[in-house]
Amino acid sequence: MKKDRHEEILKIIAEEPISTQEELLRRLTERGFTVGQATVSRDIKKLNLIKQAAPDGGQMYAALLNADADMPEKLMPVFKNSFVSCDFAGNLLVIRTLSGMAGALASAVDSMQLRGVLGSIAGDDTVLLVCKTEGLAAELSMRFTRLAE
The CATH classification number of 73-148 equals 3.30.1360.40
Residues of the chain with CATH 3.30.1360.40: 73-148
- The pTM assigned to this predicted structure is 0.59
Identify which has the larger pLDDT, 56 or 94: 94
Q: Where in the chain is the domain with CATH 1.10.10.10?
A: 2-63
**CATH architecture of the domain covering 2-63:** Orthogonal Bundle (1.10)
Q: Tell me the mean pLDDT in the region 131-146.
A: 85
Compute and round to an integer the Cα radius of gyration of the chain.
Answer: 17
Q: Is 106 exposed, middle or buried (0-12, 13-18, 19+ CB in 10 A)?
A: buried
For residue 68, the model assigns a pLDDT of 43
The 10s digit of each residue's pLDDT in 122-135 is 999 999 999 988 88
Q: Which residues touch 123 (CB under 8 Å, ≥6 apart)? A: 102
Q: What is the pLDDT of residue 65?
A: 55
Instruction: Output 118 or 66, whichever has higher pLDDT.
Output: 118
3-class secondary structure, 120: strand
Q: Give mean pLDDT, residues 97-124.
A: 90
